[in-house]
Amino acid sequence: MNSSKRHIIIVASKLFLEKCYKEVTMQEIVKVTGLSKGAFYHHFKSKEELFLEVIVFFFQSLTRDFNDYSKNSLKEFYEQYLNDSVTLAKNYLGNFDYGDSENTLTLNYFSLMFDALKLFPEFRARAIDAFNLEIDQWTLAVERARAGGEIKSPMSDRQIAEMFMYLSDGIGMHMIMRGADFDTMIVPVKEHWDMLYEQIKA
């Protein structure tokens, strides 16, 4: 990706996060990029086309490499997952100039996702695939923990994996609504994951 196209995507990403898809105009994006209309429209012909690239950039920025995750224990796996979540989110928002509020997510994070779901039907399938990939990785971690005698539970491996994921999603949403930064958000997630882990630990 050349520097001009990346610059446009980053500027547009910030604007879409600060507002929402409907509120951001192409005229505004062009103005904030500082590029000429000719240079801008050379890369993107429409707001919808640009928004799709913004969503792709979002997903690529937050993609995990589960190959690097601990296979020693479930506890190490979820602690690494939490730390990775913070690092990925901070690196993503680090692309934008947010000053002191760099670590704060707004409700427009959800607006961004729901706008994408409405505009691009294929995005739903991609989002579900990404979620299923994470669940599969969690399930493998739980399977290893059970096989190694680390945990014991009448719940299935997948049910335990889903419990971890759904807890983080729910807590994360409520913390975002309260304007919490990532370092604050991670505390109750870890507390609840630790409590869940204690319930299933052998």
Of 16, 39, 58, which closes a domain?
Answer: 58
Task: Assign residue 45 the CATH number of its domain.
Answer: 1.10.10.60
Q: Tens digit of pLDDT for each residue in 88-142?
A: 888 888 887 655 444 455 567 777 888 888 888 888 888 888 899 999 999 999 9
pLDDT number for residue 163: 97
Q: Are residues 111 and 175 in the same domain?
A: yes
Q: Are residues 47 and 88 in the same domain?
A: no
Q: Tens digit of pLDDT for each residue in 8-28?
A: 999 999 898 888 888 899 999
The domain tally of the chain equals 2
Closest CA to 137 of 161, 156, 159: 161
Any alpha helices (H) in 70-181, and if so which ranges? 74-93, 108-119, 121-147, 157-177
Given a cut of 90, is residue 154 above it in pLDDT?
yes
Given a cut of 80, is residue 181 above it in pLDDT?
no
Closest CA to 40 of 54, 27, 53: 27
Of 12, 43, 58, which closes a domain?
Answer: 58
pLDDT number for residue 180: 75
Q: Tens digit of pLDDT for each residue in 58-84?
A: 888 888 999 999 999 999 999 999 999
Give percent above pLDDT 70 in the chain. Answer: 94
Asked if 160 and 150 count as a contact pair (C-beta separation under 8 A), the reply is no
pLDDT number for residue 100: 46
